[in-house]
Amino acid sequence: MLQVSTYFYDIRPVSHDDSAAVRSGLQVEGMTGVVDDWKLYLILEYCHFTLSYATTANFLHRGEKPRVDMILLLLLDMAKGMLYLHDHKIIHGDLKPENVLLKVDGQSPSRLVAKITDFGLAINLGPTATHVSNISTGTPFYCAPEVPLNGRATQASDVFSFGVVMAEVCSKTPPWINVGGEFHVNPRFPNFGSDMPRAFESLAMRCLQLDLTKRPGFQEIVSSLEGLHRMFREQELPRFRVAH
């Protein structure tokens, strides 16, 4: 399973204590008083760090050169996880490097496994539904343009977010820049560099299509990444490099 596993959960009542003796605000306990809210406790599978940390800490690069094999394998894990969600009619709604956890796994060729987490904005589509309307959530710079513009989320919206992640992790170039404490679109994004295969760049740009009907589905993304990884392992990637 390429989503973070939940082993146990509990929901406990929360009240507000205004007594002079206790000034710590909300109290979680087995109460007999009025319940103001509920607090959810989760016991989750342990993972070691996020994809965002791995990118900024240079785990996925040797200097400025991307570790193509590792990047392809981790993105393939993500794509398989997203394919599973979409097959079960679930839109994640907030796919970004911070919401992908990496777990050390000696059985994996990359020694890491990517697992999707944070389903707080996930949407479960009905059996015949193709989209959800009146949606205005998602992380700026990662969510598809139709979400804030039209309030419309589809499985293709997750594909757009995946394309943003593809471009970011291979080049260490985020889609945003911080200028004086304000976040703006990064003029250097998307940036793939000269060391990633051209087919990789082409796939990512298809995911980033403004026309959501032109974006690939995750079944095609999985197949494409598997093909790219096979070519890399067979030392055939030079034929697919970007020409300058």
Element holding 154 (H helix, E strand): strand 153-154
Which single residue is written with the structure tokens 């796939």?
A: 203
* List 37, 77, 94, 211, catalytic entry: 94
- Distance (Å, rounded) from C-alpha 237 to C-alpha 229? 9
Q: What is the pLDDT of residue 70?
A: 93
In DSSP terms, 91 is beta-bridged to 123
pLDDT of residue 6: 57
Provide long-range contacts, Cβ within 8 A and 24+ apart, for 57-60: 58/172, 60/169, 60/170, 60/172
Residue 196: what pLDDT? 92
**Contact indicator for 69, 61 with CB cutoff of 8 Å:** no
pLDDT at residue 37 in the model: 73
User: Which residue is listed with tokens 């992380």?
Assistant: 139
- The answer, yes or no, to whether residue 51 has pLDDT greater than 90, is yes
Give the pLDDT score at 244. 46
Question: pLDDT class for 76, splitting at 50, 70, 90?
Answer: very high
Is the backbone of residue 222 left (phi > 0), alpha (psi -120 to 50) or beta? alpha
Answer whether residue 7 shows pLDDT above 60: no
Q: Which two tokens stand for residue 154?
A: 């589809």
**Least trusted range by pLDDT, from 2-16, 46-60, 66-80, 165-179:** 2-16
Mean pLDDT of the chain: 81
Nearest to 68 by CA among 152, 166, 162: 166
* Residue 13, token pair as written in the block: 């009542």
Structure tokens at 161: 């977010």
Res. 241 pLDDT band, cuts 50 70 90: low
Residue 106 pLDDT greater than 50, yes or no: yes
Give the tokens for residue 212. Answer: 């959501």
Beta strands 65-66; 61-62: pairing state:
antiparallel
Token pair 């016991």: residue = 43
- CA-to-CA dists, residue 120 to 69, 74, 103, 188, 204, angstroms: 31, 22, 21, 30, 25
Its pTM stands at 0.77
Specify whether 94 is catalytic.
Answer: yes
Q: How far apart are CA 47 and CA 212, in angstroms?
A: 33
Whole-angstrom Cα distance, residue 222 to residue 96?
18
pLDDT in tens, 177-211: 999 989 999 999 999 988 899 999 999 999 999 99
pLDDT of residue 103: 81
